[in-house]
Chain A
Amino acid sequence: MIRFSKYIWIYIVLSSLVLVPGIYSLITWGLRPSIDFTGGTVLELTLEKKLTNDSLREIAKTNAIDLVEIQQSGKNTYTFRIKPTTESAVDAFQAQLGKEGGKIDLLRKDTVGPVIGKELLSKAIVASIFVVIAILSYVAYAFKSFRFGIAAVASLVHDMLVMFGSFSLLGHFFGVEVDTLFVTAFLTTMSFSVHDTIVIFDRIREYRRKDTRTKLTNVSNVALTETMGRSLVNSFTIMFMLLSLVLMGGETVRWFAVALLIGTVTGTYSSPFVATPVLLLLDKWEKKRNEKR
């Protein structure tokens, strides 16, 4: 048995190392919203010659055009999605495309609204709150104690903050954007995090049924020791899938896979090292209150 409960301060330090810079970054720099949220310019044209995606991106770069997406439809027809920028920059980009790709047949040049409106975003937040309440009540019901529910939700909030924080940092330093796919990765992490926590809580519940006298601290240490192997094995299988996507998947999918990877790591970490310590703390508080009475 490993006495996990002795090292709570290490977990606090570890979590703070990620959370403090993340939250600082969230407050000062916020997140970088993608064209899905902000809108931008859509340019659609047919070129005489076929240009590769790489050379198209190169042309965009030299003209300081922030390309979000290149979509090919038909033979040499391209649709470019561009971040909000000046009219003249788009014109310059268009001119150079003509130089390299031959005659241009301009089909469309529009400024578009966002795909994800404010309406959807606020509804997604409402849904997340409902999910949190539902999880809290179900865990409290299944484990016959509110402490378990609160602890599970605490680790959930921890994971959400880690994800938002790290993407805020990634956005500030590497220009990574938050798009519709990030919203999905976030929802995935929510489910995964609770799933993992419940496996550990189940062990604690099982031992408590057999024996109610042993201290919760000891019970949780036994439970953590026994489930650690399974937690790691399980997370490794998911991480294998995601790492292969990060390393070998296409450009457009990469940051999505990174988001899921961060979610998996923090989801695995938070179950033994956030949810369980929170449960122990809550238990202690309750005991103290009862003694005072």
Chain B
Amino acid sequence: MAKNSRKFFIYLLILTFIVALIDLPEKFKISIPWRGGTIQKEINPPSINIQIGSLKIQKTFTTHLGLDLAGGIHVALEADMKNIPVESRMDALESARQVIERRVNFFGVSEPVVQHIKSGETYRVVVELPGVTDIDQALSLIGQTAKLEFREMNDISESTEAAFLSPTLENTQPVDLTGKDLKRATLSFNSNNGEPEVAIEFTPDGGKKFADITKRLIGKPLAIFLDDTPLMWPTVKTEITDGSGVISGGFTFDQAKRLTLQLNAGALPVPVAVVEKRIVGATLGADSVSKSMRAGFIGLGIVALFMILKYGWLGLYADLALFVYGLITLALYRLIPVTLTLPGIAGFILSIGMAVDANILIFERFKEECRKGKPWVIAMELGFGKAWDSIRDANFTTIITSIILYNPGNWDFLPSSGLVRGFAATLFIGVVISLFTGIIVTRTFIRVLYRGPKGGKA
């Protein structure tokens, strides 16, 4: 066992070194006085930039901070209400806001703020996205109406030559089948040429309509329009009764993915235009953030000191394990990446508490066993074994809680918005990692380094 532990100890050191590399501070300048002058060097976390054939792996490790801590992009979209009756404009604005919020959430930007604003006769939706660097990409996702519509050719004689004639709004008419009839859209790839395409599935009603339309239009083209531009106009070969179809239109992967997201989130009820975009500062105030960071570090220091005072060497090993915990968690935040906000930090603090708790449970058990007169090596293993039941059950309930709050299935009746989700994600990561460091890492440190309590007593 001791030999295995030693091996594992070395793996642990390597792991710690790697995550420490990922955790290197960003743009941290050091200057070393050397032979009269100073050496200036800027430290940055490493970045991966590998090219294997056509596969390109590119990854930089930076911390994503939320709007409250670091600011982000602020975009104001103005809704064009001229076709909407005055009394239902507020409703239209609210549903536009909801659609945009859903798109942003699907897009994977965490902790966004999506708000509607009415001032005078202008109707706006304000979107604040933390940590998004590509403004244009974000805009193309949230700003497009994404109105999907199926249309047929007006003139039958024209449509026989349809392959040579592009459909326009003028020479086609709607067939009463739109994006609203969709149940779900998924990204798929063409089995022949591997091109990205969007597979659509209709609602039962939509499926019936689709079957009727395809039956009526056999041998004729059915045009698919997105935001009043024709995407494709395939000729119907047979009646399609299974309520599904495929939209392909020479998409790039990103285009197909974006269209999928937009179709799933629904179309905007009103067209919107970007009226403002800019970079904003931290909403909590920069001085408040730095003060709180300092307070957090002081608090952590007190906890570490407390553990050493209460448990001696054992406390020190627990602190070391806690340090490894901090490094791994931060590295994961950068790898996944998780957008760190104040609620997220609350989840982090709570999981630190639980990591420390696992060690306290173990050490208290260890002391009990020692008091019963067992030799410390056996008492220590017993301590780990007996504490495990309660650690498992306590952490398992927390894991269940974080999964429900995260809502991985994007269920409608549970929250899928940033605020709760950010908290749940950090809590989940924290608890899982703390189980690893609080038990396995601490145990390895103790097995390899600990030489027993002074005078044989705990």
Docked-complex contact A253 and B281, CB < 8 angstroms: no
Q: Does B119 contact A (CB under 8 A)?
A: yes
Are A123 and B292 CB-contacts (below 8 A) given A131-B404, A240-B302, A253-B342? Answer: no
Provide the residues of chain A in CB contact with B119, threshold 8 Å. Answer: 109-111
Are A250 and B117 CB-contacts (below 8 A) given A181-B343, A195-B357? Answer: no
Provide the residues of chain A in CB contact with B285, threshold 8 Å. Answer: 53, 69-72, 250-252
Docked-complex contact B404 and A195, CB < 8 angstroms: no
Q: Does A26 contact B (CB under 8 A)?
A: no
Inter-chain CA distance A119–B278, complex, in Å, is: 28
Provide the residues of chain B in CB contact with A245, threshold 8 Å. Answer: 292, 295-296, 299
Number of A-B contacts (CB under 8 A): 222
Q: Does A222 contact B (CB under 8 A)?
A: no
Interface size grouping (class) on chain A: 35 or more
Are A230 and B342 CB-contacts (below 8 A) given A113-B116, A199-B390? Answer: no
Provide the residues of chain A in CB contact with B407, threshold 8 Å. Answer: 127
Q: Tell me what chain A mostly uses at the interface: helix, strand, loop, or mixed.
A: helix
Docked-complex contact A237 and B356, CB < 8 angstroms: yes
Contact with B along A183-205 (1 / 0, CB 8 A): 11101101110111011011101
Provide the residues of chain A in CB contact with B440, threshold 8 Å. Answer: none
Provide the residues of chain B in CB contact with A243, threshold 8 Å. Answer: 299
Provide the residues of chain B in CB contact with A252, threshold 8 Å. Answer: 284-285, 288
Give chain A nearest CB distance to B105 CB in angstroms. 11
Docked-complex contact B350 and A116, CB < 8 angstroms: no
Provide the residues of chain A in CB contact with B218, threshold 8 Å. Answer: none
Listed stretches A13-21, A133-141, A162-170, A282-290; interface member: A133-141
From the candidates A120, A196, A240, A251, name the one contacting B303 in the complex (CB within 8 A): A240
Inter-chain CA distance A259–B313, complex, in Å, is: 34
Docked-complex contact B281 and A185, CB < 8 angstroms: no
Docked-complex contact A127 and B405, CB < 8 angstroms: yes
Inter-chain CA distance A131–B397, complex, in Å, is: 9
Give chain A nearest CB distance to B130 CB in angstroms. 14
Q: Does A262 contact B (CB under 8 A)?
A: no
Provide the residues of chain A in CB contact with B350, threshold 8 Å. Answer: 188, 191-192, 238
Docked-complex contact B414 and A187, CB < 8 angstroms: no
Q: Does A142 contact B (CB under 8 A)?
A: yes
Residues from 288 to 308 in B contacting A, C-beta threshold 8 Å: 288-292, 294-296, 298-300, 302-303, 306-307
Provide the residues of chain B in CB contact with A134, threshold 8 Å. Answer: 397, 400-401, 404
Docked-complex contact A244 and B295, CB < 8 angstroms: yes
Inter-chain CA distance A247–B288, complex, in Å, is: 12
Residues from 201 to 235 in A contacting B, C-beta threshold 8 Å: 201-203, 205-206, 226, 229-230, 233-234
Docked-complex contact A202 and B292, CB < 8 angstroms: no
Provide the residues of chain B in CB contact with A113, threshold 8 Å. Answer: 94, 97, 115-118
Are A256 and B342 CB-contacts (below 8 A) given A73-B280, A230-B361? Answer: yes
Listed stretches B12-20, B80-88, B417-425; interface member: B417-425
Inter-chain CA distance A50–B407, complex, in Å, is: 45
Inter-chain CA distance A231–B25, complex, in Å, is: 36
Q: Does B379 contact A (CB under 8 A)?
A: no
From the candidates B349, B352, B413, name the one contacting A126 in the complex (CB within 8 A): B413
Instruction: Given contacts A53-B285, A70-B285, list 16 more A-B pairs with CB under 8 A.
Output: A127-B407, A130-B404, A138-B396, A138-B397, A183-B419, A184-B342, A195-B395, A196-B394, A198-B393, A201-B393, A230-B361, A241-B299, A244-B295, A245-B292, A250-B288, A251-B288
